[in-house]
Amino acid sequence: MSDVTAAASPLTTLSEEEEMLREAVREFAESAIAPHVHDMDEASKFHPDIISSFFEMGLMGIEIPEQRGGAGGSIFMAMLAIEELARVDASAAIYVDVHNTLVNNAVLRWGTDEQLDRYCPRLASDMLGAFALSEPGAGSDAFALTTKAEDKGGHWELTGRKFWVTNGAEAEFFIVFANADFDKGYKGITAFLIKRDFEGFSVGKRESKLGIRASSTTELILEGCRVPQENVFGPVGQGYKIAMATLNEGRIGIGAQMVGVARGALDAAIRYTKEREQFGKPIAEFQAVQFQLAQMDTELEAARLMVYNAARTKDAGQPFLREAAMAKLYSSQMADRVTSQCVELFGGYGYSREYPVEKFYRDAKIGTIYEGTSNMQLQTIAKQLLRA
| 75 vs 63: CA distance, rounded Å | 6
CA-wise closest residue to 379 among 328, 336, 319: 328
Q: Are 173 and 146 in contact (CB under 8 A)?
A: no
Q: Are 130 and 166 in contact (CB under 8 A)?
A: yes
* Annotated catalytic residue, options 135, 157, 299, 371: 371
CA-wise closest residue to 134 among 11, 243, 6, 276: 243
In sequence order, the 6+-apart residues with CB closer than 8 A to the CB of 251 are 310, 324, 325, 327, 328, 371, 372, 377
| 280 vs 30: CA distance, rounded Å | 33
Q: Is 150 a catalytic residue?
A: no
CA-wise closest residue to 310 among 297, 299, 301, 319: 319
The SS3 call for residue 228 is: strand
What element of type H or E holds 69?
Answer: none
| 324 vs 322: CA distance, rounded Å | 5
Q: Are 160 and 148 in contact (CB under 8 A)?
A: yes
Catalytic machinery residues? 371
